[in-house]
Amino acid sequence: MTQGLQSIAFEQSPYVVSSASVVGKKEGEGPLGKMFDMVETENLFGEDTWEAAESTMQKEACLLAMGKAHIDKEDVRFLFGGDLLRQGIATSLGVEQFGIPMFGLFGACSTSGEALALASMSVAAGYGDYMLAVTSSHFGSAEKEFRFPLSYANQRPLSAQWTVTGSGAFLVGKKRSHVRITGITVGKIVDFGLKDSQNMGACMAPAAADTIERNLKDFGREPDDYSRIITGDLGYVGQSILFDLMRGKEIDIKKNHIDCGMMIFDQNKQDTHAGGSGCGCAASVLSSYVLPKLERGEWKRVLFVPTGALMSTVSFNEGASVPGIAHGIVLEHC
């Protein structure tokens, strides 16, 4: 089952039984707008605070995912979830009502990969028939915590990214479907010493390069063995750096690489500079765009690599650099 240095190849691959994506207004107006399961134009989602809105998104995404698979919350053995906020509060308050035993995670924007990896490992090891993996991000709550209050008047640099208001929930289990998770590559923290919190793509690209290279080596594959290599939110700047880093490793992924952050917004019309970011970015794009293509067989095998920037507001003020992490999930049509 263990594969290479950092990977696992599942002997009995778990299935992605169902998934759901819930997003906010701006995402609904983007290029993938029509593909999301739920688009809420009221960014408060009927709540009083951005944090509560984010919790509601997670709750809705889980309900939709379970609904699509026609199972109840009692059928789900464990839930793996996380978000960007301090102490993972959006997740805790979001999934609390389901009463599913849960593991709270932090992987910054790579949380969807971390949750899917743990959920699939648990199913493959026989610890349960169904596991939920869920994550979210919200522009309002993230800006408030990491950057500035929303009405603060500032100019964003061109390398800045737009935190996606969105959530993705994935039901991983033994029930047959058309998509399996056949392997995972667990990422390690990679820090090239960058201290620019307004250039997340550059901070995370080294981690993405490291995990992609590790995945290819562990599984003995070439980039062409994947229909697509999909990073979470490197954005325009990060993608360019990723290509250079990979070329330095003599690996060319230019032909089949796409990035969720680049796909979720229209850079020109929506003024999102370097692209979308946040846990909800990779998760919602995976659910709404990538999985349907795998289900239809349009893509046979993809490597999903959400990336995270592991900084805190304190670490940044104290002059620490911004390390990155990226997890690789191998998804196959079956």
Partner 1 sequence: MDYINAFWVGGLICALAQILLDRTKLMPGRVMVLLVCTGAVLGALHIYQPIQDYAGAGASVPLAGFGNLLWKGVKEAVDKEGFIGIFLGGFKASAVGISAALVFGYLASLICEPKMKK
Partner 2 sequence: MRLAGADSNTESLEGEGRVDRKKQQEAYENYVKRKTPVHNLPANMTKAFITGGIICVIGQSILNYCEKMGLDKDISGGWTSMILILLSVILTALNVYPRIAKWGGAGALVPITGFANSVAAPAIEFQKEGQVMGIGCKIFTIAGPVILYGVFTSWVLGFLYWIGKIAGLL
Interatomic CA distance for residues 215 and 176, integer angstroms: 25
Q: How far is the CB of 200 from partner 2 (least distance, A)?
A: 11
Q: How far is the CB of 111 from partner 2 (least distance, A)?
A: 22
At 24, the amino acid letter reads G
Closest CA to 85 of 153, 163, 189: 163
Interatomic CA distance for residues 203 and 237, integer angstroms: 10
- In this structure, are residues 216 and 305 in contact, taking their beta carbons and an 8 Å threshold? no
- The piece of 226-234, 243-251, 297-305, 308-316 that touches partner 2 (CB under 8 A) is 243-251
Interatomic CA distance for residues 276 and 24, integer angstroms: 13
- The piece of 96-104, 183-191, 218-226, 307-315 that touches partner 2 (CB under 8 A) is 183-191
Interatomic CA distance for residues 164 and 238, integer angstroms: 17
- CB within 8 Å of 256: residues ≥ 6 apart: 223, 224, 226, 227, 228, 229
- In this structure, are residues 264 and 30 in contact, taking their beta carbons and an 8 Å threshold? yes
Binding mask 277-316 for partner 2 (x = CB under 8 A): ----------------------------------------
43 binds, among partner 2, partner 1, none (CB under 5 to 8 A by kind): partner 1
- Residue 43 as a binder of partner 1 (CB under 8 A): the answer is yes
Residues between 128 and 167 that touch partner 1 (CB under 8 A): 139-140, 143, 149-151, 154-155, 165
SS3 96: helix
Binding mask 192-231 for partner 2 (x = CB under 8 A): xxx-x--x--x---x--xx--xx-----------------
Closest CA to 36 of 256, 291, 227: 291
Closest to partner 1 by CB, 25 or 178: 25
SS3 7: strand
Interatomic CA distance for residues 112 and 96, integer angstroms: 19
- CB within 8 Å of 158: residues ≥ 6 apart: 273, 274
Q: How far is the CB of 114 from partner 2 (least distance, A)?
A: 19
Q: How far is the CB of 201 from partner 1 (least distance, A)?
A: 16
202 binds, among partner 1, partner 2, none (CB under 5 to 8 A by kind): partner 2
98 binds, among partner 1, partner 2, none (CB under 5 to 8 A by kind): none
269 binds, among partner 1, partner 2, none (CB under 5 to 8 A by kind): none
Interatomic CA distance for residues 131 and 76, integer angstroms: 5
- The residues of the shown chain that bind partner 2, judged by CB under 8 A, are 48-49, 144, 148-159, 188, 190-194, 196, 199, 202, 206, 209-210, 213-214, 237, 240-241, 244-245, 247-249, 321
